Amino acid sequence: MQPDSAVVPVRCEFVRGRNCLLVRGQFSPLYMDYYLHLMQHGLKLADDPDQMLKDALATLALHLASRPQDEGCAWTVNFHDPLMNLFVTGGSRPGRVTGRVFTEDVKDSGKNLFIAQTTRPHMQPRQSMIEFAGADIPAAVEQFYTQSEQRPTRVFRLPDEEFAQISAEPDADLDWLASLTLEQIPGLGETETLSLLETRGYIFECGCTPDRLYPLLTRLPDADLDYIFEDGFATITCPRCAAVFRAPKSAFEAWKARQPA
């Protein structure tokens, strides 16, 4: 990966003698691009949803770094109170994550739900759903790993926007893993033997464009399209990152003309 101030290097290390995988990164550069994205599209979140989305972006990047490189993942975290959906998605080829918060038309199931969708080339997509307690994203990820992945995992939010995830491998020292404290994580390399497996890089990026969002409009009847393009432009919102585009009808018609019959 080329040097880039926006890229977050995520280190994957094996904790020898404990049989655990340590994945960690410092996410300030990614958060900077996230805030630039909000500014570019005139978006603003309240403090709590903003922090929760940032936590979810960071923890998803750690999760992706611990998984096969060709795996993609999307998490939908449904909160009962306050009612909202938090959505994040990403992959490692290329290394990028994106996400948004939904506060309108959110289904209230009366409980918190964590829904994970996983894809890999030439394999059937997998989906799992768990119920979790609380409103803390790292704790929700831990519950997801325990209930769905059946793999004990600890997630730590450290100072200076750094996160660490430690997951059990076969024959892991589960007592050691359960006893870890936040204060131990920064100096873990001094108390344990760590072997670097690989380093992956992640950025905040969706990759959406009007052309990639036009298929959403093709699902609408002609009467709705006439209403949407009443002034000659359609306002299209990306379902993945909430980016807002003003698309001229002429560009949409030109795109449709290029599509196979």
Give residue-wise pLDDT tens across range 81-118.
889 999 999 999 999 999 999 999 999 989 999 999 99
pLDDT at 1: 44
Res 182: pLDDT: 97
Q: Domains (ranges, CATH) in the chain?
A: 8-204 (3.55.30.10), 210-258 (3.90.1280)
Burial class, 106, CB count within 10 angstroms (exposed 0-12 / middle 13-18 / buried 19+): middle
Residue 129's pLDDT is 96
Alpha-carbon distances of 171 from 17, 36, 92, 151, 197, rounded to whole Å: 10, 44, 27, 11, 18
> What average pLDDT does range 68-74 have in this prediction?
97
Residue 222 has pLDDT above 80, yes or no: yes
Query: What's the N-to-C CA distance of the chain in angstroms?
Result: 39
Instruction: Give pLDDT tens digits for 150-205.
Output: 999 999 999 999 999 999 999 999 999 999 999 999 999 999 999 999 999 999 99
Count the neighbouring beta carbons within 10 Å of the beta carbon of residue 15: 22
The position carrying tokens 């003309």 is 257
pLDDT at 5 over 70: no
What are 13-68's pLDDT values in tens digits?
Answer: 999 999 999 999 999 999 999 999 999 999 999 999 999 999 999 999 999 999 99
Identify the residue with better confidence: 255 or 2: 255
Whether the CB-CB separation of 63 and 21 falls below 8 Å is answered with no
Q: How confident is the model at residue 4 (pLDDT cuts 50, 70, 90)?
A: low
CB 98 within 8 A of CB 88: yes
2 pLDDT higher than 70 = no
Q: Give the mean model confidence (pLDDT) for residues 221-247.
A: 93
Q: Pull the structure tokens for residue 192.
A: 């344990």
Average pLDDT score over residue span 221-238 = 92
What is d(CA 60, CA 91) in angstroms, rounded to the nearest whole number? 9
The whole-angstrom separation of Cα 185 and Cα 178 is 13
